[in-house]
Amino acid sequence: MYKKLFSINWLLPVLLLTMSTLMQAAQVKDIRVGQQPGSTRLVFELDSSVDHRMFPLSNPDRVVLDINDTDISQDVVASLSALSSDALLRVRYAKRDSGMRFVLDLNKKVKAKTTKLAASGGYGPRILVELDYGVQSSSAPTVVKSLASISDEKRDIVVVIDPGHGGKDPGALGQYKVREKDIVLSIGRELAKRLNAKPGIKAVMTRSTDVYLQLRDRSRVAREANADLMISIHADAFTKSSARGASVWALSLSGKTSEMGRWLAQQEQSADLVGGISLDDKDQLLAEVLLDMSMNSTIQMSLDIGKEVLGEMRGVAKLHKNSVQQAGFVVLKSPDIPSILIETGFVSNKTEAKNLSSLTYRRKLASSIAKGVEDFFVSNPPDGTYIAWQKTQKGGYTYTVSKGDTLSEIARKNGVSLDSLRSANTLRNDVIWIGQKLSIPAS
C-alpha cells in the first residue's frame, strides 16, 4: 500500500507538469507572405503570445526562426509549399523541444529583423519577419547594363487567385457528386500555372489545398501580396436544373458604399490603403474623398478586366450573362485592388456539371481566363513592372505565340502596326504557330 501511494505521489506532479505544458502551447494559426519593392514580409499569426528568436545562416543563405511553446496546425503545414517571393525560396519547419523551428531558404542575401505585434483588429498576436534586400539608390554610380539585367529589376504583376470555399465548406453540391470546392481549386491551380508561365506575371493562391478560409482572410492575402488583381473562382447552383452559364462579377456601387463605411470606421488600420496614402491622419471629409476616388477607379478597372476575361471565356463556356455583372460580394471589396468573381457554371445543371468534372474542360476554361488577364495587362501594364518596361523599351523584345493568338491580335496588344510586325519577322503572310518566337519592334 505504501509503495503504490508513493508511486502515485511521484507520478502526479509529472502529469500535471505535462498537462500544463500542453495547455500553454500556442498555435500557429496562419503564415502569410507579402512582397514589396526591396522587401519580403512574413506574418506568423498565433493564438497566444510567446517568445521567439531569429538568426541568419550562410552557405546556403537562410534565416532561422524559433518560436517557443508552439505547435502548428495541419492546414498551415499544407499551405507552406505556396509561400515564396523574390527573396524567399521556401519555408521549412520542424518540431524543436516544446516549440517550432522555421527555416526560411533564401534566393538572395537579406537583412532580417523581427517585430512582435500584439493582437488587434481581429488578428491574434503576430510575429513579423522582414527580409530587406534593398532598392538601388539613385545616388549610386551610373552603370551600363544589359537589357536582361534591367528587366530583372522590374517587378512582376501580382495576380491573387482565390478558389472559393474549401475544407469544412464544400460550396455548391451538384450533379455527378460534383463539389464546388474541388472544381474551383482545380481551375485555380491551372490558372496559376498559365499565369506563372507568362514573363512578368506572378500568381499567388489564397489556398492551394483543401482548407477553409474566412472571406476577409482571402482579401487579406491579396493585400499582403500587394496584388494588382484578385480573381475569386466559384461555381453556381440553382433550384432549377435548367439554369446554366458562366458569368463574371465586379463590385456594385451599393457594395462600395458599405465597404467605405467599414474602412472609415477603422482608419487607424488603413496605413497603406489608398496608393500608399494613410487615412489615419486625414479628417473625415478628406478621407471619404480619397477613399471614394480609389474605389471608383478600382471598380472601373475591375469592370475592364472582367470584360476582357468574359470575352475570352465566351469561346469555351456558355455565358449566363453577356456583360460583367455587379454585386456586393465580400471578396470584391478591397478598396484599392481590382477584383473580379468568376462563376464558372452551374453544377446543378447536368451538362455543366459534366463539363466541370472534366480536367480537359477545366484547363480550357483556365486558359481563357489567363488570356483575358494577360491581354488586359499587356495593354494596360502598371508602372514599374516588367511588362510596362518590355512594352516601351527601345530595342524591341520577343513574344512567344500561345494558343488562340493571331498576328493582328499580337500587334494590337503590343502596340505596334501589323506591317511593322510582319517586317520585323520577315513574314510573307499572317500564318503563325504555337511556340513561335516573334520579335516585337519598338513602337
Sign of the C-alpha dihedral computed for residues 419, 422, 426 and 429 taken in this order: negative
Reading the block at residue 107, the C-alpha cell is: 534566393
Give the percent of the chain with pLDDT over 90: 33
The per-residue pLDDT for range 375-391, each reduced to its tens digit, is: 999 888 887 888 887 77
The per-residue pLDDT for range 21-72, each reduced to its tens digit, is: 445 678 898 888 877 667 888 889 888 889 999 998 888 889 999 999 999 8
pLDDT for 4 equals 41
- Report the chain's mean pLDDT, rounded to a whole number: 80
Q: What single DSSP character describes residue 382?
A: P
Relative to beta strand 39-46, strand 52-57 is unpaired
Closest CA to 370 of 321, 404, 409, 323: 404
Answering whether pTM is above 0.85, one says no
Closest CA to 390 of 195, 135, 230, 198: 198
Highest mean pLDDT: which of 218-222, 306-310, 396-400? 306-310
Reading the block at residue 61, the C-alpha cell is: 543563405
- Any idea what the Cα angle at residue 116 is, between residues 60 and 75, rounded to 5°? 70
Which of the four pLDDT bands, split at 50, 70 and 90, describes residue 164?
Answer: very high
The per-residue pLDDT for range 61-72, each reduced to its tens digit, is: 899 999 999 998
The per-residue pLDDT for range 221-249, each reduced to its tens digit, is: 888 888 999 999 999 888 889 999 999 99
- The rounded distance, in Å, linking the Cα atoms of 328 and 316 is 27
Sign of the C-alpha dihedral computed for residues 72, 83, 125 and 262 taken in this order: negative
The per-residue pLDDT for range 286-299, each reduced to its tens digit, is: 556 556 666 778 88
* Residue 429 confidence (pLDDT) above 90: no
* Candidate from 93-97, 186-190, 395-399 with smallest mean pLDDT: 395-399
